[in-house]
Structure 1
Amino acid sequence: MLRLVRAGCYSRRNCTPKNIDNSQLMYYIKYMANVLNMDKQIMIISALAEGSSIRSIERMTGVHRDTIMRLGVKVGKGCTAMMDEQMRNLSCNRLEMDEIWGFVGKKERHVRPEDPEDVGSVWTFCAIDAETKLVPAFKVGNRDSATADAFVQDVAKRMRNRLQISTDGLNAYVEAIERAFGGDVEYGQIIKVYGIEESITPQRRYSAPAIQSVEKKAIIGRPDFRLISTSYVERLNATTRLHMKRLARLTHAFSKKRENFEAAVGLHFAYYNFVRRHNTLRCTPAMAAGVSREFWSVGDLVEASA
């Protein structure tokens, strides 16, 4: 019988020792080690990519939550680096851009002056190809001109042909797209005006107000007004919230570190682009865009991110 003392207990008066027999010790050695076998890694990454929480994966697999977190961060960072290498010289014709809100540590209204800089609201800028549903780039940061500039510059260097871009009315996009593309782009905005509801019923507490009007504007070039839309990227945002537990509404799940959040975003979009079959395309977005020739498995994703 192996006898271990709880962390933080310095005398018998403060804490009763915890006894662990040999079978329990082997459990800790097998599942709590830093290096997991490939089957366990695939099981964990699959569950993370499908929107399961860290705690639920711990209960399903028997792997400690700290090990799950370390694996998720490692694979997420590798996925980001892999996509940065793969998403080059793309022949996209029509992109839609938008940003999705989240938070790290605590919501903005609870942030105090002594808190770290990366605590509070965080925005994920992303773009989607309306034809292939590929997500060529994303950027995590603040909802400001600096993040918009970095994001649009990253998108621009991955394209090889003139394209049409659609965004909402965020002013940061205008200067960012002009600096990144110059006049070599067709850029239009779609601005939706929402009404004001005087009384909100419990059933509509978390629903957006009704749209009163929609205005489309040509900002750069001569965009096709019929194709100025953000419907696909807004649907992508819904998919992201569904498959990223950290962004799910009305839950206790959230990131405590910006590093963990960025890794989770990288894992999500890599899984979306290379592994997840899109029903309307009958293949993955990466296959439709010519980035990949075949379906990827989660095992392929883990190996590519190593």
Structure 2
Amino acid sequence: MIAITCKHEQLVKRGKDARGNQRFKCCSCGASVVRHEGGKPLGNMRLEMAKAIIVLKLLLEGMSIRACERITSVNRDTICDLVLTLGQKCDTFLENTVQGVQAKYIELDEIWAFSGCKAKTAKEKNYGPEMGDVWTWFAIDAQSKMILSHKTGKRDQVTGDEFLRRLNNATVGRTQVTSDGFSAYTYGVPSAMGSRVDFAQLIKHYAGSQNETRYSPAQIVGTEVVPRFGNPDEAHVSTSYSERLNLSVRMHNRRLTRLTNAHSKSAEHHSAMLSIFTAFYNYCRKHESCGKGKQTPAMAAGLTDHVWSVKELLEAAA
């Protein structure tokens, strides 16, 4: 006699297993089954997707972790685990999907923050390398406003080279790149992008040393365009969009707000949150200059045809 195997077509929910996966009971045979539909956006976390999305939306609109805890009743440790899990997924997602972009003009810049304490304090107290200043490097397409690549780390040549490697992998065709006067770009950009790049640096001259001011840069008294490689068009040598992006990053991320204790306590979590923001900015957040405010940068760059929801982003990054 051949037994007929039940296909478990009629299922009803029956709690969750030890790892938080949804368990079902088959109405035909009574068996308990667990079904996995594709990747798991939240990994092995037991947090409900709906509540995770609310937490993320709050974080991405500039709220602190403890404020999210008070509003959603999700423990702050769970929120930190959520950021770390999704940040790693979003970073991989961006590197795998932001490719083949034909960006005519690209602007580069770095934004400062700190983890635990500032560099001066970390040096005085002999803290490890995970404490102190943290820099996030951004490359933005001046036309679509797409963040083509990002990298969080130190403000040094090693981090810069990895950032530029990602930028080279994300773009195709001839492009013009503009950066500030930071030395890591001088030879790094031509080395990473080769003969297809026209590169210039926009050197800013200040009224005094920036070290003389506490919370704002010294007054700019002039700028100088320095062609470095190829034949850059001086009319399009600018860092205005990259500097405006820095404002958006600070406005959307509480951990970058100055003069508060909301700063990052972990460099790893800081990097993860910036990866989540970059994916959100590219795919979910409508940009005022893209399609009269109806498109995201990813739509303007031709990588998608609609505005993504946060849930759709998490499922794509799983």
Q: How does 1:63-212 map to 2 (within 5 A)?
A: 63-112=74-123, 114-196=126-208, 206-212=215-221
Q: Give 2:26's aligned residue.
A: none
Total equivalences in the alignment: 269
Once the two structures are TM-superposed, the CA of residue 181 in structure 1 deviates from its matched residue by 2.0
Once the two structures are TM-superposed, the CA of residue 182 in structure 1 deviates from its matched residue by 2.5
State the TM-score, normalizing by the size of structure 1: 0.84
* 1:258 maps to 2:270: no
Please give the per-residue CA displacement for 1:5-44, whole angstroms capped at 9, x wherever unaligned. xxxxxxxxxxxxxxxxxxxxxxxxxxxx941222101100
| CA distance in structure 1 between the aligned counterparts of 2:202 and 2:126, rounded to whole angstroms | 39
State the TM-score, normalizing by the size of structure 2: 0.81
| CA distance in structure 2 between the aligned counterparts of 1:193 and 1:249, rounded to whole angstroms | 24
Q: How does 1:286-305 map to 2 (within 5 A)?
A: 286-305=298-317
* 8 A Cα contact 1:77 1:305, kept in partner: no
* 1:232 counterpart (224, 238, 241): 241
* 1:223 counterpart (227, 232, 244): 232
| CA distance in structure 1 between the aligned counterparts of 2:215 and 2:118, rounded to whole angstroms | 17
Q: How does 1:276-291 map to 2 (within 5 A)?
A: 276-281=285-290, 282=293, 283-291=295-303
Q: Give 1:269's aligned residue.
A: 278
Q: Higher mean Cα deviation, 108-117 or 258-267?
A: 108-117
The residue type equivalent to 2:132 in the other structure is G
The residue type equivalent to 1:71 in the other structure is L
Please give the per-residue CA displacement for 1:89-143, whole angstroms capped at 9, x wherever unaligned. 1111110001111111111111146422211111111100000000011111111
Q: Give 2:9's aligned residue.
A: none
Q: Give 1:16's aligned residue.
A: none
| CA distance in structure 2 between the aligned counterparts of 1:180 and 1:34, rounded to whole angstroms | 39
Once the two structures are TM-superposed, the CA of residue 206 in structure 1 deviates from its matched residue by 3.1
Between 1 and 2, higher relative CO (CA 8 Å, sep ≥ 6) is seen in 1
Once the two structures are TM-superposed, the CA of residue 271 in structure 1 deviates from its matched residue by 0.7
| CA distance in structure 2 between the aligned counterparts of 1:169 and 1:124, rounded to whole angstroms | 16
Q: Higher mean Cα deviation, 174-183 or 101-110?
A: 174-183
Once the two structures are TM-superposed, the CA of residue 243 in structure 1 deviates from its matched residue by 0.7
Q: Give 1:27's aligned residue.
A: none
The residue type equivalent to 2:301 in the other structure is A
| CA distance in structure 2 between the aligned counterparts of 1:123 and 1:169, rounded to whole angstroms | 16
* 8 A Cα contact 2:116 2:266, kept in partner: yes
Q: Give 1:59's aligned residue.
A: 70
* 8 A Cα contact 1:79 1:266, kept in partner: yes
* 1:213 maps to 2:206: no
* 1:50 maps to 2:70: no
SS for the counterpart of 1:183 is helix
Q: Percent identity?
A: 39
| CA distance in structure 2 between the aligned counterparts of 1:223 and 1:67, rounded to whole angstroms | 48
The residue type equivalent to 2:255 in the other structure is R
* 8 A Cα contact 1:78 1:304, kept in partner: no
Unaligned runs of 5+ in 1: 1-32
Unaligned runs of 5+ in 2: 1-43
* 8 A Cα contact 1:128 1:232, kept in partner: yes
The residue type equivalent to 1:287 in the other structure is M
| CA distance in structure 1 between the aligned counterparts of 2:132 and 2:208, rounded to whole angstroms | 27
Please give the per-residue CA displacement for 1:254-306, whole angstroms capped at 9, x wherever unaligned. 22222101100101111100000001212000000011111101111222233
| CA distance in structure 1 between the aligned counterparts of 2:230 and 2:56, rounded to whole angstroms | 43
* 1:243 counterpart (220, 242, 252): 252
Once the two structures are TM-superposed, the CA of residue 251 in structure 1 deviates from its matched residue by 1.3
Query: Would you identify which runs of 4 or more consecutive aligned residues in structure 1 move more than 4 Å?
Result: none
| CA distance in structure 1 between the aligned counterparts of 2:62 and 2:137, rounded to whole angstroms | 20
